[in-house]
Amino acid sequence: MTTVYAEVLAGPILRSCEPDEVSVWFATLSEPTNVTMSLASTVPSGVPQPLGKLVETTKSVQLGRRLWVTLHRARLRDKLLPTERFITYDVQLSVARIGARGAQLSDIYGTHVLPPR
């Protein structure tokens, strides 16, 4: 089975974080066919807690024969994002490639908030 890591050229990169919405963008070599995001917030113990169900939208634009830029937005269904806490995110994506499996950010970088140097 082929992994999708080589398909991601850049991102996901945080584009904006509003009281009611988080958006990220990324660039891929193929059109993303499925994108999902999960959000979690740290509590005083430092353990991330899932924030709940999200309403998600994705828009992709083809900029070249093999270049797609995608904007993915997520908002909580019935509440605003918490304040004065760290919010972590993870993005899962699949691309239009036979045999490719979806990759999670944590698959590439581990469970760190920032990628290792």
CB-based contact 16:24 (threshold 8 Å): no
CATH for 9: 2.60.40
Q: Model-level pTM greater than 0.95? A: no
More confident residue, 85 or 112: 85
pLDDT one-digit tens code per residue, 50-94: 998 999 999 989 888 888 899 999 999 888 998 888 888 888 887
Range of 93's domain?
5-109
The stretch 87-102 carries a mean pLDDT of 69
What's the total number of domains in the chain? 1
Residue 102 has pLDDT above 50, yes or no: no
Q: Is the pLDDT of residue 113 over 70?
A: no
C-alpha dihedral sign at 114, 94, 101, 47? positive
In a domain, 65, yes or no: yes
